[in-house]
Amino acid sequence: MVPRKTPFYDKHVENKGKIVEFADFLMPVQFEGIIPEHNTVRNSVGVFDVSHMGEVEIRGKDRTKFVNYLTTNDAAKLASNQIQYTTMLYPDAGIVDDLLVYNLADRMLLVVNAANTEKDYMWIVENKKYDVEIENTSNKIGQLAIQGPKAEFVMQKLFDFELVTLEYYRTTETNMKGIPVLLSRTGYTGEDGFELYLDKKYAADVWDMVFSAGKEFGIKPIGLGARDTLRFEMRYCLYGNDIDKTTNPLEAGLGWVVKLDKEEFIGKESLLTIKQRGIQRKLVGLEALSKGIPRQHQEILAGDEKVGFVTSGTFAPSLKKGISMGYVSLVHAKVGNKLKVMSKEPIEVEIIKGPFYKHGSHR
Amino acid sequence: MANVIDGVKYTKEHEWIKIEGDVAVEGITDYAQSELSDIVMVELPSIGRKAKAGDAIGTIEAVKAVTDIYAGLGGEIIEVNGNVASDPALVNKDPYGEGWLYKLKIEDAKEVENLLSPEQYKELIEKK
């Protein structure tokens, strides 16, 4: 398969991005370097091309009911122009994907992981019921994420209304200097910020507008490398690493987006059984106490006993140490527990509570 | 395009080796540092350690990847670059200069013949 280009591809080349193939797209993994880009987002503002993400739109009068049947969070509780993080499950409670649901005036917009777009779309179509229409609009849409403590100052220059009024996980269909856009206060970095969805024909104009508005704040393009370290420091799950079809949301610490008291949804019965039986393992955050960086697939030991494995591991630029996530058997999964990750030299790690990085600007 | 300098030898494992009499100064190439990207930890061999050519004698950890440091030639480690241990980014900034990794007393000068010339190394990375 020939990898696809996002509508911002030429901008990445122009900015000397190092291009790699990711989820069948040619994406910039870095520009000036993962660490400086990471710090740009933590300290000022950076722009990510996230056009590879998938968009599936659900229209029709029963759209809320249908989305509620597909997902674990309670979509019926969404106010208009509100957004919800949720998961979509197989009947056995394995995760199809984690996603955002936008409750717009005439439709629900599901924003899914790039690598899962086709799979998710097929799944949604296969499970279609009620009076709804389903459309995969991924190829029509360009998407940028503008993230960092200065993001609001930058974006305010491009909109006529007070951005302060757009709260976290809220969205509005508006226009940016005449270009129709969907703007939301969302992100994957732990910093305040926005995501902007637009018809891809406006991509070059929108990119230039954002960068010229951000110039005085030192705005920079950010690659996938820093996107991963930023999300990781917040302990946000990454589908394909920390969650997949073999993991359920309860063991992944996503119980807060599972509403077992709502009406019927795919995976509910299995979740009820799992809940009754109790989970066997738990996805935990592990901070390295000794030198070394835990890496994906390494074993986690308590004494000499294998108690789990690492699902993702990286160097945390804001903490300057190795951090990781992994599934650990329940008895060993308590906060404060010290375990070992089997790297070439064993790395001593401690289970921590909450995000690794606790000083993000997001509200 | 990665920088390949003259006046040093190379290995297939993307190390450069500068021969100074019976001492070899070794580091990783510009190509290697750029592939690894942000280097955050460098674990160097201990002084006095004897290695055979090809032995893994240290580790370089980048944000997203980890790689071993291999001995390009057999011999005894006589000096390591303490500056890269405290400031690993030196390897990214100046791989052929301030980012050198260690010095080794060459045991068998004949092994130098097994190393790649700058032209051969250029050819190797161009194939990637």
CB contact (8 A) between residue B41 and residue A293: yes
Domain ranges of chain B: 9-108+116-126
Rounded CA-CA distance B112/A62 in Å is 74
Cβ proximity of A100 and A186 under 8 Å: yes
CA distance B51 to B115: 16
**A interface test, pick of B33, B38, B46, B67 with most A CB neighbours within 10 Å:** B38
Mutate to test the interface with A, among B36, B64, B91, B93 (most CBs of A within 10 A): B64
Going by CATH, does the domain composed of B9-108+116-126 fall within 2.40.50.100? yes
Give the closest of B38, B43, B66 to A34, CB-based.
Answer: B38
Shortest distance, CA B58 to any CA of chain A (angstroms): 11
8 Å CB contact of B66 and A295: yes
> Quick one: average pLDDT of B2-26?
95
Query: What confidence score (pLDDT) does residue A361 get?
Result: 87
Domain A280-363: state its class.
mainly beta
Between chain A and chain B, the number of residue pairs with CB atoms below 8 A apart is: 41
Q: Residues A127-148: what's their mean pLDDT? A: 98
- Which of the four pLDDT bands, split at 50, 70 and 90, describes residue A2? confident
Burial class (CB in 10 A: 0-12, 13-18, 19+), A285: buried
Q: Where in chain A do CATH 2.40.30.110 domains reside?
A: 280-363
Structure ipTM: 0.82
DSSP 8-state assignment for residue A82? B
Whether A35 has its CB under 8 Å from any CB of chain B: the answer is yes
% of chain A at pLDDT higher than 90: 97
For A154, residues 6+ apart whose C-beta sits below 8 A from its C-beta are A45, A146, A210, A213, A214, A217, A219
Q: Which residues of A touch B37 (CB under 8 A)?
A: 18, 29-30, 33-34, 225
**A4-52+139-233 CATH:** 3.30.1360.120
pLDDT above 70: percentage of residues in chain B: 99
Mean pLDDT for the stretch of residues A228-244: 96
Residue A363, pLDDT above cutoff 70: no
| Average pLDDT of span A198-210 | 98
A245-252 mean pLDDT: 98
Percent of chain A with pLDDT over 70: 100
Q: Report pLDDT for B43.
A: 93
**What local confidence, expressed as pLDDT, does residue A362 receive?**
79
Domain ranges in chain A with CATH number 3.30.1360.120? 4-52+139-233
Helices (H), chain B: 30-36, 82-86, 89-93, 118-126
Interchain contact, A225 vs B64, CB within 8 Å: yes
Pair A162, A91: CB distance under 8 Å = no
B21: pLDDT strictly greater than 90: yes
Query: Out of A18, A225, A291, whose CB is closest to B63?
Result: A225
| pLDDT average, residue stretch A302-328 | 96
Query: Is the pLDDT score of A196 beyond 70?
Result: yes
pLDDT confidence of residue A183:
98
Mean pLDDT of chain B: 94
List pLDDT tens digits, range A254-296: 999 999 999 999 999 999 999 999 999 999 999 999 989 999 9
User: For the residues of A310-351, what is the DSSP string, one character each?
Assistant: EEEEEEETTTTEEEEEEEEEGGG--TT-EEEE-SSS-EEEEE
Structure confidence by residue, pLDDT tens digits, A27-86: 999 999 999 999 999 999 999 999 999 999 999 999 999 999 999 999 999 999 999 999
Given a contact cutoff of 8 angstroms between Cβ atoms, the answer to whether A86 and A69 are in contact is no
CB B68 within 8 A of CB B28: no
**B-chain residues within 8 Å CB-CB of A315?**
38, 40-41, 61-63
Q: pLDDT for B67-125, tens place per residue?
A: 999 999 999 999 999 999 999 999 999 999 999 999 999 999 999 999 999 999 999 99
| Of A291, A231, A42, A317, the residue nearest B89 (C-alpha) | A317
In the prediction, which pLDDT does B1 show?
74
Across the interface, of B59, B63, B66, the residue whose CB is closest to A34 is B63
